[in-house]
Amino acid sequence: MKKIYITLKLKISKMNFKHLLFPVMLFTGLLFSSSPILAQQAVAGIDVEDPKTVTTDGVEFSVLPDKKDWIYKTGEKPIFKIKLFVDGQPVEKADMTYMIGPEKMEPTRKGKVSIANGYGQLEGEVMNEPGFLRCDVRVRVKSKIYKSVATAAFEPEAIKPSAVTPSDFHSFWSDAIKKSKNVPLNSKLTPIAGRSNDVVDVYQAEYEFFNDGVKKFYGVLCIPKKEGKYPAIIRFPGAGWAPLSGDPKTAEDGFITLDLYIHGRPVIHDRSYYVDLQNNELKGYQYKGTSDRDSFYYKNVILGCVRSVDLIYSLSQFDGKHVGGWGSSQGGALSIITTSLEKRINFMVALCPAMCDFTGYLNNRAGGWPHFFAKPELYQDNKEQVMKTLSYYDVVNFAKDINVPAYLSWGFNDATTPPTTCFVAYNIMTAPKQLYIIPEGEHKIYPEQRKRTYSWLKQNLQK
């Protein structure tokens, strides 16, 4: 298995004023409280984030562990190095506030730290079990508060799951998939006005499956116009309410691409249609139905994703054997889940997968998005039932069954899909796998991640 760790330098930036700094008062509560995954802000869907140096107001503020790869052995004590420059000059003296503790948990230590001549340092804490220690430092520069975070890893590839696999996990999903195919696919391809070009046709794809009645699923399908047989890539969407716009660029390179929309609605409406869904029907969709494994929102989602492979196989332009899955966040989870359940997917990519190890919070460590057990209001009245339901949807329980090559990637500073949870899924996978880590990476898709994973996927699918 191949692992790559890189460090990505991020800075906070340009400001034309004198150096005036004050301590920042910190809040209590969950350390580094989870930022909810934002709805996709445009029909374009998940956009690639540019990790270039952020230049805002001339302030260069960073916190970095003293090990280049950010990885420590249990029992070691990390040192966090602090740097603060304004307009290119070191700040002579400043007081900052800090919090240190296991990611997503209550801080085990917090207080003030001083720097001199632009530099300072904080002693971290020893972790005696595999996991992640997050250091959050904040400073006020004139009227603005700046934050820098560094997350030290302690033997992350030794992190074990808290998730429990139900005894009937496999039979539940086998039966559900079998029933879902009791109705014809009834696929329909509708050209999307203005999306096709000289070399690629772009369609709204529509198909059906059964889940307590006949359900519809939709996506954006791109097919090369040139006569031939092509491999296919299915892209699973991150959390949100607006559909992805399709991937004609990859189709131009000789691939059928299918960008799924998991909410059972057409993908050709204007923005106002999806905003209405966001504010009404899809509001908090990720939390719906946790009282029962058959009513949980993601049962329909998963069955629709699995049936998408039938759609690919129904296409006359498909080469009949090469299918890849690609997804980030919620899409990373669905990529793992679908690949586990649908054995005709040959290669899989998952960036910062969500829905991993939900019960981590019940075991004094981070749990997977959407953080059910960090929010007592979601489970306190029926904890055992919610735990039982979610055990059928925990990505960790699907990752065990991956039997094709996989490429995964995430960052240590991700507060939405915590690296603790991503490593649980990765560690339990026994298939050939590659891991690409951006230590300073947050919950984003970085250009290098996209470049590496698509290159790997396309090369393998064309063999």
Question: Which residues does the annotation mark as catalytic?
Answer: 329, 414, 443
Rg (alpha carbons) of the chain, rounded to whole number? 23
> Cα(first)–Cα(last) distance of the chain, in Å?
20
**Helix (H) or strand (E) segment spanning residue 191:** strand 188-191
Task: Give the pairing of strands 433-438 and 2-5.
Answer: parallel
Strand partners, 90: 85
Cβ 11 vs Cβ 61: under 8 Å: yes
Tokens of 377: 């209001």
- Per DSSP, which regions of 192-299 are E strands? 200-210, 214-224, 230-236, 256-261
Cα(90)–Cα(67) distance, rounded to whole angstroms? 23
Question: How many Cα atoms occupy the beta-carbon half-sphere of 155 within 13 Å?
Answer: 13
- Provide the b/e sequence for 245-273 (b: ≥16 CB within 10 Å): bbbbebbbeebbbbbbbbbebebbeeeee
Q: Which SS3 state, helix, strand or coil, does residue 462 take?
A: coil
Closest CA to 264 of 287, 281, 246: 281
Place of tokens 């000789």: 254
